[in-house]
Amino acid sequence: MIEKIPYRSGRILDVACGPGASTKRLTRSYPSDQITAINISESQLAAARKRAPGCAFLLMDATQLGFPEAQFDAVMCVEAAFHFDTRDTFLREAWRVLKPGGSLVLTDMLFRGFLRPFGKYGQVPPANFLPDIASYRAGLEAAGFEGVNVKDATQACLGGFRTSRAGRHLSAGAAA
């Protein structure tokens, strides 16, 4: 995802940084003092601060970004926007805090075919269920983004997920 950011300078916002893996990865390409990361879990932020020292970490909701307009050159969000109440609100906030010409890079899930998505972080707000990629693109454009490039990585991701799950199952079975 970092390679999708068109420049290697400027202020970066890592939204829903979790325990800091994405933030740490950003420090390979950007100075730590140019990276701000947010999350709604203080315990995850504590882990992130240890993982990526020198970056700014703030307790903040992605749908209520407490930054002035045009503060960041790029916003990154890894597999979290489907949790936000709502994704569309986050997209509008991301647009607001980006400088003119700034970029949003994100990975996200549509949950096509799932009635209730799984995961320890709770359910997906109904407004975040989308039928297809075209609907996702329309949401980005409605938030103000131009030149939107959406890539469907379902098959690549599901293949790895299935392989990972199968490996764990076989390993558990072999140990039993």
| pLDDT tens, N- to C-terminus, the chain (176 residues) | 888 888 888 999 999 999 999 999 999 999 999 999 999 999 999 999 999 999 999 999 999 999 999 999 999 999 899 999 999 999 999 999 999 999 999 988 886 655 455 444 457 788 888 888 899 999 999 999 999 988 887 777 665 545 544 443 332 322 22
Residue 145: Cβ within 10 Å count: 18
**What pLDDT sits at residue 4?**
86
Identify which of 49, 55, 38, 42 has the alpha carbon closest to the alpha carbon of residue 90: 38
Q: Write down the domain spans for the chain.
A: 2-175
**What is the chain's alpha carbon radius of gyration, rounded to the nearest angstrom?**
17
Residue 120 burial (10 A CB sphere; 0-12, 13-18, 19+): exposed
Instruction: Give the three-class secondary structure for 37.
Output: strand
Please tell me the distance from the alpha carbon of residue 28 to that of residue 136, in angstroms, as a whole number: 30
Instruction: Please report where in the chains the tokens 């882990």 appear, as a residue.
Output: 47
Q: Are 69 and 97 in contact (CB under 8 A)?
A: yes
Identify which of 23, 40, 21 has the alpha carbon closest to the alpha carbon of residue 32: 23
**Which structure tokens are listed for 66?**
């407490």
Please tell me the distance from the alpha carbon of residue 64 to that of residue 45, in angstroms, as a whole number: 17
Write the CATH number of the domain with boundaries 2-175.
3.40.50.150
CA angle 123, 124, 126 (to 5 degrees): 125
